[in-house]
Chain A
Amino acid sequence: MTLLSIDWFFVIEKVLLISGVLVLSLVVAMYSTWGERKVAAWIQDRLGPNRAGFMGLLQPLADGGKLFFKEEIIPANSNRFLFVLGPSIAMLVACMTSAVIPWGDSLVIAGRTVSLQIADVNIGILFIFGVVSMGVYGIMIGGWASNNKYSLLASVRAASQIISYELPMGLALIALLMLTGSLSLKDIVEQQRHGLWNVVYQPLGFFIFLVCAFAECNRAPFDLPEAENELNGGYHLEYSSMKLGFFLFAEYINMFISSALISTMYFGGYAFPYMDKLGLDPNVVTILGFLALFVKTLLFIFFFMWVRWTVPRFRYDQLMRLGWKIMIPLALVNMLITGALVLARQH
């Protein structure tokens, strides 16, 4: 259907896909809060939320509802506009990254090939980096606009932490890109579909990326910007109601997206072993592939939680030392070795 020289099916398809991915990331983030509480409880030999609904499954709804009904407080001496802008940026940025992740191969519906990736841009990884580094603005602006010492300190910490860990993350990725030769996430997945997963070639790169992803998501052991027990909640100290909810929620969405990203780049994304040898209908394979990616993502989310409830928080100087003196040199060495090997293989 082409009207006004616009392919309307294309528009509908993309709108559906965007809403689908958005709903998916929101629901996963919602249930990550539940999952986190459950995992925390189990690790500490407790039961976790089990009153609201079966196994406490309605708990996220209750928490969300509570946040909506809480009193909204905007401190008198804060900058009102920036104060609202902070959580909005955090949330917006968190939702944007999912656009370039290939959630599956393509489906064939009534002769139309529908790709399960919202935008297969050829600079996918670059896009993600650009967007993710904007996330720190949400924290920075929010903490600054609160006009509170703790918030400001925490947001300064957050900014320097994220900058410090973006460097080794980028360096680890450069090594990966030397192997794949493409910045498009779809290409990266397709390569892994027909070969081995990238984690086999890039174990050190994967490890560095994983550690940096923890730092980027402000997750324990790198949760210094929040540091509930040192900074009274850190950059969101002055926030209440759904603005606080947005900050917390953005963190969980970020966790989901990073997990999806790690699975996509290092663990084959929607590719799973023998997917082309099953002899199944391509549509079925695509759906199975989406489920494979989803399972991988959930496993990584679990890993995030597992680490949070095991490893204690770093001290700030330790964090900086790890970032600058260990992670960056390691990433550089990794890059060097990868470069040398790629060069050696070409000759």
Chain B
Amino acid sequence: MQALTNRAKAVDRRPMTLAEKMYIPAIAKGMGITFKHLFQKKATVSFPEKKRDFSPVFRGLHVLNRDEEGRERCTACGLCAVACPAEAITMEAAERKEGEEHLYREEKYAAKYEINMLRCIFCGFCEEACPKDAVYMSETFAPANYQRKGFIYGKDDLLIPHPKEGK
């Protein structure tokens, strides 16, 4: 049979020599290897003290973005919810009232915006679908929680802080 790669090695089926049958040289060799490993660099990351950096394309928890003046960008168009394969996103739209122009960028906004982090598969389709650059995925992941309802993130969990007021 033709080998698929040039890395294939034929199995050595010759009968073992006396030295091989004694196993002692092989064991000594193995012990040498393990002894070398005693002093090698450890792979462990001491987690709470030291955190491993995420990859640049890591998709973590979502954030709802604001524009430069601190207005919410989301217009509750629902494209993210449609794009979501896990159906983790629900939202309720509302109309912007007179005098709320400093809060919402467009005439329509999301009164309620919830992502169920237990359903979410962090595929990033919502991020791609958003026409207003409102949904982004950050570099954090959902912390543990005692209850399922703790994993349903509302607007107050998702919105990034206001650039000026800090809230």
Contacts and interface: CB of A to CB of B under 8 A. Distances in A.
Report the interface size class on chain A. Answer: 10 to 19
Interface residues of B, number: 15
B34 A310 contact: yes
A39 B42 CA distance: 12
Interface string A21-47: 000000000000000000100111111
Nearest to A44: B37
A306 B44 contact: no
A272 interface: no
Contacts of A47: 42, 44, 46
B147 interface: no
B27 A311 contact: yes
Interface string B70-99: 000000000000000000000000000000
B34 A306 contact: yes
A127 interface: no
Nearest to B27: A311
Task: Tell me the dominant secondary structure on chain A's binding face.
Answer: loop
Interface of B: 27, 30-31, 33-35, 37-44, 46
A43 B43 contact: no
A315 to B, nearest CB: 13
Contacts of A310: 27, 30-31, 33-34
Interface in A36-94: 39, 42-47, 50
A45 B42 contact: yes
Contact of B43 (A45, A307, A311): A45
A45 B44 CA distance: 8
A209 to B, nearest CB: 15
B135 to A, nearest CB: 39
Nearest to B35: A306
Contacts of A324: none
Contact of A46 (B30, B31, B35, B43): B43
A44 B38 CA distance: 8
A69 to B, nearest CB: 24
A131 B82 CA distance: 76
A307 B31 contact: yes
A24 B40 CA distance: 32
B156 to A, nearest CB: 35
